[in-house]
Amino acid sequence: MSFEIKDKELAGRIGKLATKSGTLETPTFFPVINPFRRGDEVPPNKIKEIGFNQLITNAYIIMQRLGKNIDEGGVRELVGFDGVIMTDSGAYQLLMYGRNKVTIDPEEIVEYEKLLNPDIAVIADIPTKDDSSWEEAKESVTETLRRAKLVQPLIRNTDILWVLPIQGGVHYDLVELSAEEAKNIEGYGMYAIGSPVTVLEKYEFWKIVRMVAAAKMILPPDKPVHLFGGGHPLIMPLLVALGVDSFDSASYILYAREGRYITGRGTYRINDLSYLPCECEVCSKYTVKELLEMDKAERTKLIAIHNLHVINRELRIIKESIREGRLWELIEERARSHPSVREAFNEFIKYVGWIEKFDPRYKGRAKGLFLFDATSYFRPELLRHRAYLTKELLKERSEPLKKVVLVPASLNEKPFRNSRIFKEAIKEGIIKPGDAVFFYLPFFNYIPLGLDQTYPYGQFEAPQTPEAELVMNMFRNLSLMISKVISEGGKVLVLSCGKIPWAKESIVKVLERDKVKFREMCK
């Protein structure tokens, strides 16, 4: 087994996860199936036809039903699937029914999973409920780690990829503790972040962001990370951007049984819809009325097929966004689709300093940036830009800047050195040889003349009328720069332009101070 990263964007990646039965391209999704429930389920061959060459099933349920009466073909023959198969150990049953009703021996279930012979298998962890006290959560972390060490001799020398779950739930210090201990336990080729199901059901997505970030900031970046129960496309782009490589869920069928229809913008009850906003094989063939008139089992199966198509489509969109360097823009788009996703995005922004370390500086097929509003201010590209300028501003110089000219940047004239204002200032002698020229504009705050032709300063699109918050951020940064120049004995000239919203003379005068001069260029 091996994991090779092929492309990166933010902390997300497209990878190749090699198993004994085939190679999976990540990020990917494992549909959950119950091998003993056939009535309204989507059959494995249909799951594969939709685009999923992998699925996950429950070793505990199989053991309860069949014991050791397993054919030589193991779980593959049992479920009738020739793709990659992952087995869970029954942690979901523990989470739902409690340890007083469900007992899973960690060594017994590992031996049983070896008998089933899947490609990927999860050890018997103790999940952390979202309403667990700190002490209860600590016990689930401690016991899961103990079990991980206990079964080490049993998982050695197998061709199964073993998964070590990270527990702690919404107690993020315990998630960090779990990840710190887990990374030092040998024998595991994959990690999984456990227990988000009930939090996801409540749409408390921001908690999942914090949980994933707490684990990912500690776990080794060269191993894949799975998220249990992450079955809604609404939150997938954010979690992929944090470094989640795979998901699993039974949401597609559980929702379908309740008549719930998944979209990229949320979930709807089928009887609340007038139209089916999708072009999949189900939605292009049937109407809402026709689905409602069907037998429930048939309707459930068809809605489940639709739900799988939506999940698959979202994963393909995410991968293309990674490849093109537009994952941040996809997240911004999704953050406007539901208040809970916007709240999760606000939490995500808190980790942008860490995310920037993984975000590639340049991609072979670099695309221009789309900057929308104040959330775009936190893009890693802009974070790097501002860090560079701060470093340049604060560094010691043998000769301090004697004169700085701040020129308003016109978004319609890129590179900015070709702008009418800059050329006129040169022609009229306002800007002289030796002057340090900076173009000022929202999002970037200010750009040195020497960089205006480099990426991404000439390759971006932004609104002509930016939010007040962005303009104030720009002025705060300009004020710091001006203070530094003046403290070193330099002079500052600020050019204004009434035709540029953030460069009107009345606005620019907020920078008024000793030795700062102003000149209007657009009268």
Q: What is the pLDDT of residues 303-314, one digit of tens each?
A: 999 999 999 999
Burial of 13 (0-12, 13-18, 19+ CB in 10 A): buried
Residue 408's pLDDT is 96
CA dihedral 314, 316, 318, 322 (to 10 degrees): 180
Q: Which pair of tokens denotes residue 453?
A: 């032709």
How many angstroms separate the Cα of 20 from the Cα of each of 6, 24, 29, 110, 120? Answer: 20, 11, 18, 18, 9
Residue 269 confidence class, pLDDT cut points 50, 70, 90: very high
Helix residue ranges, H only, 151-249: 152-155, 172-182, 197-201, 205-216, 236-241
Half-sphere CA count of 254, side-chain side, radius 13 A: 13
**C-alpha distance across the termini of the chain, in Å:** 68
Q: Is pLDDT at 364 greater than 70 in this prediction?
A: no
DSSP, collapsed to helix, strand or coil, labels residue 450 as helix
Given this model, what pLDDT does residue 305 score?
Answer: 97
> Which active-site residues does the annotation give?
88
Question: CA-CA-CA-CA torsion for 321, 325, 328, 334, nearest 10 degrees?
Answer: -20
Parse the chain into domains and list their residue ranges: 2-354, 369-520
Q: Is the dihedral of CA 319, 325, 331, 332 positive or negative?
A: negative
Helices marked H in 71-133 — which ranges?
A: 74-79, 91-97, 106-116
Q: How far is the C-alpha of 99 from the C-alpha of 93, rounded, in Å?
A: 9
- Sorted by sequence, the CB contacts under 8 Å of residue 517 that are 6+ apart come out as 491, 492, 493, 494
- Each residue's pLDDT tens digit, 97-111: 666 777 788 999 999
CATH number for region 2-354: 3.20.20.105
Identify whether the C-beta of residue 426 lies closer than 8 Å to the C-beta of residue 521: no
Eight-class DSSP state of 451: G
Segment 207-232 mean pLDDT: 94
399 vs 135, which has greater pLDDT? 135
Of the candidate CATH numbers 3.30.1330, 2.40.50, 3.30.70, 3.40.50, the domain formed by 369-520 belongs to: 3.40.50
Taking alpha carbons only, the member of 471, 329, 473 closest to residue 389 is 473
Pairing of strands 54-58, 84-88: parallel
Predicted confidence at residue 397, as pLDDT, reads 67
Statement: residue 202 has pLDDT above 90: no
Q: What is the pLDDT of residues 423-478, one digit of tens each?
A: 999 999 999 999 999 999 999 999 999 888 888 898 899 999 999 999 999 999 99
Q: pLDDT grade, residue 39 (50/70/90)?
A: low
Residue 420, φ and ψ in degrees, nearest 5: -60, -40
- In 294-425, beta strands by DSSP E: 369-370, 403-408
